[in-house]
Structure 1
Amino acid sequence: MDEMIRIIRKFLTLIILLSITFSSSADPIDDYIAVSLYLGGRISSDLTDNQTGEPVKASDDFAQTLAFTWHHSRNKEGELLFSNASQDIQVSGENNSSAELNTTYLHFGGRALFTKPDSAFSSSVGLGLGATFLTPDESKYDNEIALSGNISGGIRYQLNDKWALRSDLRIYGTVLNSNNSLFCGEGQCLVKLEGEVYVQTDLMAGVEYKF
């Protein structure tokens, strides 16, 4: 995880430098709809079981993202995002139990673009809001839906008018209600919470196609 954090810090520095450098430009295409497919890794913050005080850990794992973007105005895009990862949840202490969890984000938001004339490189920052769907693989546990948001930074390399290479760093925050219980079923719950924000970070790379 330490190596992943170092990579994220370097990526953030790169995005900030590119955003300062590519501060203005006309949009390369006046009107478009684009689809992007990303693959990468997801790391997660720990939760704390309110009943036992023990940490609840989620494994760092593979993630995939599908994003639809469209021209909104000069140097701005709208975005509809679907992202999913399957992770192992480990509960320490007396319970000492585990479950496989599918975490899915469905977010609507937008991006501000930073481009420069005659350069194939550009950068962006974005915000999104939507829902998190927490779905345990075991049918005995209930599914959960929670409010969430994200903040992102990305870089793009335009190959031609249609295709581009993209890389994004995206941080998700999911609001878990006070006195909430997760993964309940058959009269018991794996985790009991006292109001937390569940943070996950994705570092992704992919391709974009514009229509």
Structure 2
Amino acid sequence: MNRQTFTAILFALLLPVAPVAADLGLSPFAGYRMSSSVDVKTAGASNRDQIDFRDSVSHGLVVNFDLDEPGKQGEVYFGRQSTSARLDDGLFAPGIGSIDLTIYQLQFGGLYFPGGQSHGGFVSGVLGVTRLEPDDSRFETDHRAALSIGAGYQFLLAEQLRLRLDLRGVYTTLNSSGSVFCSGGCEIRFVSSGYLQVEAGAGLVVRF
């Protein structure tokens, strides 16, 4: 699954939704992500190490559509982060202790305004997939299930325009039997069951 496939899936899922939605909101956003470390085993499964993801800027698009019950919306979240992964004490390959990569998330779920409006405070929850894509083609791309839970506030600027502030936690599950960023004879494997990223973001919501 490449970048073009992600975009095609996003638009394919939105096309059947738009005609039945009372209102549709598009929110391009920019944010900043902070990540926890990931425990791994290195060659021979005898040495433990940690992968650290560099904290960096993120950006993407959130799409919301009104549901029948006031204050409830469906949500599609697409996020992108350019970062790097570094081993604390080891090497991914001879002479390579750090890998530049792009992290994508494509997730689906809902958003709820406790006040029953389409602005003000809200909570959100979405579920989908995380794509870990190294910039170096010698290393493999990885896909993992992910869950995001967040909260925020939408300030009413005009009838069809809001300022959206978000704070969300993105948890990506990992399979301890799977290798990580490996190609050929690489023997680095996950030990952690998952890792957490915290994202603070802001964007403008344009409603149609």
Identity of aligned residues (%): 26
Which aligned runs of 4 or more in structure 1 are off by greater than 4 angstroms?
Answer: none
CA distance in 2, matches of 1:129, 1:116: 23
Q: Deviations over 1:5-48 (max 9, x none)?
A: xxxxxxxxxxxxxxxxxxxxxxxxx9200100110100000011
Match of 1:36 among 23, 27, 45: 27
Within-5 A mapping of 1:32-71? 32-51=23-42, 52-71=47-66
Unaligned runs of 5+ in 2: 1-20
1:128, CA displacement in angstroms? 0.6
Q: Deviations over 1:89-118 (max 9, x none)?
A: 11122326110111100000001103388x
- Residue 128 of structure 2 aligns with an amino acid whose one-letter code is G
RMSD: 1.8
Q: Which residue matches 1:203? A: 200
1:186, CA displacement in angstroms? 3.1
Q: Deviations over 1:22-77 (max 9, x none)?
A: xxxxxxxx920010011010000001122332221111000002011000121100
Q: Which residue matches 1:3? A: none
- Residue 75 of structure 1 aligns with an amino acid whose one-letter code is G
CA distance in 2, matches of 1:93, 1:169: 32
Q: Which residue matches 1:130? A: 128
SS at match of 1:184: coil
Over 3 Å counting, the alpha-carbon distance change for 1:35 and 1:50 in structure 2 is same
CA distance in 2, matches of 1:158, 1:171: 25
Instruction: State TM-score, norm by structure 1.
Output: 0.80
1:187, CA displacement in angstroms? 2.2
Instruction: State TM-score, norm by structure 2.
Output: 0.81
Unaligned runs of 5+ in 1: 1-29
Within-5 A mapping of 1:124-203? 124-189=122-187, 191-203=188-200
Over 3 Å counting, the alpha-carbon distance change for 1:94 and 1:144 in structure 2 is closer
Q: Which residue matches 2:90? A: 94
Q: Which residue matches 2:3? A: none
